[in-house]
Amino acid sequence: MSAKLKVVLTVKLPDSVETRMRELFNTTLWYTLSQMPRDQLFAAARTADVLVTSINDRLDAEFFSECGEQLKMIANFGVGYDHIDVVTGTEKGIIITNTPGVLTEDTAEMTMGLIMAVSRRFVEGAEIVQRGEFSAWSPTFLLGRRIFGKRLGIVGMGRIGQALARRARAFGMSVHYHNRKPVSARISDDLQATYWDDLDQMLSRMDVVSINAPGGPGTHHLLNAERLAKLQPHAILVNTARGQIVDEQALAAMLREKRIAGVGLDVYEREPAINPELIGLPNAVLLPHMASSTVEARTDMGDRVILNVKTFQDGHRPPDRVIPAML
């Protein structure tokens, strides 16, 4: 393909990324931080050769029935693509790509930060100081739990799970994990990680549990009410993966009844809506989906989008093409 592709962004990207895209393609930018309305999304899909989308855009069967024949590629700005009906899109001949491998360290950092924040009650302490209520040090004030020597159970031992395991080892935690299959012996030995084929058995023995599995039908409510009940009362749960993996209603009930010590969430089941029963709980640290919110990560994601689109424009197969397992 020699002519510049018509590329429409449905999301605001870093200035440097947008500028480079304007240089390489016939690019229409989205200038606000708000989500592109669905009618405008449909309109863009009827005129663009390539759509650059994000997790905010629901690209379902209705979307693909509305898009024009000229739409040849969807370059998703993000690793996860469970908001995209990849099967329908691929059947229509639309190439779908994502940005893998560039969020690993940032997400692992955030996960480790949430583990520390919940365990040591950082947010509660910061709020007390901000309200001017810190009057004197006390031996029993805001007692948390150390993470050194604790057992961390990682649900999903992909890139991010492994990066988290390296950090946890540096903090003196012992690493356990559940995955569809064990990681290689080399990785397991390097991380000194213990594999559990039975998720229920692992959950019942951990001090900290971190969700690092992919989203999708296969992991929807993987931690349902029954599984959450297996956690020990002193355990904490952290989720920086996908909100749909955890039954939020059951989790909120456990937090209120103190059947679990605390939770750190960066993602939510009906994002951006947050279950109101989670709001205001002192043992819940809630963040606005910011695990990958670093200048470096956002720029790297944009560069990955550009690489995929430029490769397609040049007539080659994009390196990060998503292929449905069933096709």
- For residues 52 and 10, is the Cβ–Cβ distance under 8 A? yes
Indicate which residue of 20, 58, 289, 321 is catalytic: 289
User: CA 82, CA 322: separation in Å to the nearest integer?
Assistant: 11
User: What's the rounded Cα separation, in Å, for the pair 283 and 118?
Assistant: 7
Which member of 242, 269, 298, 304 is catalytic? Answer: 242
Q: Which helix (H) or strand (E) holds 304?
A: helix 295-313
Closest CA to 232 of 125, 148, 150: 150
83 is catalytic: no
From the candidates 66, 105, 124, 271, which is the catalytic residue?
A: 271
Active-site residue 242, yes or no? yes
Question: How far is Cα 316 from Cα 322, in angstroms, rounded to an integer?
Answer: 15
Look up 271 and say whether it is catalytic: yes
User: Considering only CA atoms, which of 41, 66, 80 is closest in space to residue 271?
Assistant: 80
Residue with tokens 């998503």, as numbered in its chain? 322
- The two structure tokens encoding residue 69: 């024949």
Sheet-wide strand order for 151-155: 193-195, 174-178, 151-155, 208-211, 236-239, 262-265, 284-286
What are the residue numbers of the active site?
242, 271, 289
